[in-house]
A and B are shown apart, each in its own frame.
Chain A
């Protein structure tokens, strides 16, 4: 199955900005919306970016998404200790008729 590629880890000091990349292909990110999920250990995932760059209700605008071609990015600005979590990108894949998730990125606040 196709998988979206993310860096395994990212880090930054409190208050800084960290960016996570998500690389896909023309059949998934290239044609469809990208979603970003935040997951704390032992908890269910939570949607933090909807349809490439929209904020779900209750999500602070410190989280911002973007997409260009077959790649997408999540930026977290004003980094806080409670942003430490795993982050996953996701998109529908038209060639395989399935929803694909990224490999996941662990964000650490230094």
Chain B
């Protein structure tokens, strides 16, 4: 079974940084693109970023460009999201989601359970 386990969320002050991780199992991680999607409390889904299977291509939503960096370590079956200059608008549950093939764009297919990021002083 495909399993995606996010970690790294928590309470961070405005202007701070956090790194989220997503450990994958149950499939060949290096064969699939990966996404990050977030959901603010009580709000809808917002796609954040996608990275290709090899890690050579990535896309971001405008609101995080220059502040967030998606990356992956295929030897560790792990996806990352480095977040900096955090603001209250970044408060959300962040989901890691496997794409449906290796290239980008690749729609979120399987989803993890999410990790909550709260930005507050």
Contact = CB atoms under 8 A, between A and B. Distances in A.
B61 A98 contact: yes
B95 A101 contact: no
B40 interface: no
B21 interface: no
Contacts of B35: 99
Contacts of B37: 45, 101
A101 B24 CA distance: 24
Nearest to B60: A98
Contacts of B111: 44-46
A103 B43 CA distance: 9
Interface residues of B, number: 23
Interface in A15-58: 33, 35, 37, 39, 43-47, 50, 56
Interface of A: 1, 33, 35, 37, 39, 43-47, 50, 56, 88, 90, 92, 96-104
Contacts, number: 60
Q: Which of A98, A100, A102 has the most CB of B within 10 A?
A: A98
B44 interface: yes
Nearest to A43: B113
B89 to A, nearest CB: 13
B47 A100 contact: yes
Given A1-B61, A45-B95, A33 B107 contact: yes
Q: Which 4 A-B pairs have the closest CB atoms?
A: A99-B47, A44-B111, A92-B105, A101-B45
